[in-house]
Amino acid sequence: MTRVKRGYVARKRRKNIFTLTSGFQGAHSKLFRTANQQGMRALASSYRDRNRRKRDLRRLWITRINAAARNNGISYNKLIQNLYQNQILLNRKMLAQIALLDTNCFSTIMKKINE
Q: Does 61 bind other proteins (CB under 8 A)?
A: yes
Q: Measured from the CB atom, is 6 or 54 closer to other proteins?
A: 54
**Is residue 71 a contact point for other proteins (CB under 8 A)?**
yes
Residues 97, 101, 106: CA angle, nearest 5 degrees: 75
Q: Does 77 bind other proteins (CB under 8 A)?
A: no
Q: Which is nearer to other proteins, 35 or 64 (CB)?
A: 64
Contact between residue 69 and residue 75 where contact means Cβ atoms under 8 Å apart: yes
Contact 22, 16 (CB under 8 A): no
Task: Please check whether residue 103 is in contact with residue 76, taking contact to mean a CB–CB distance below 8 angstroms.
Answer: no
Toward other proteins, which CB reaches closer, 85 or 91? 91
Do 112 and 88 touch, CB atoms closer than 8 A?
yes
What residue ranges bind other proteins (CB under 8 A)? 57, 60-61, 63-65, 67-68, 70-71, 93-94, 96-97, 99-101
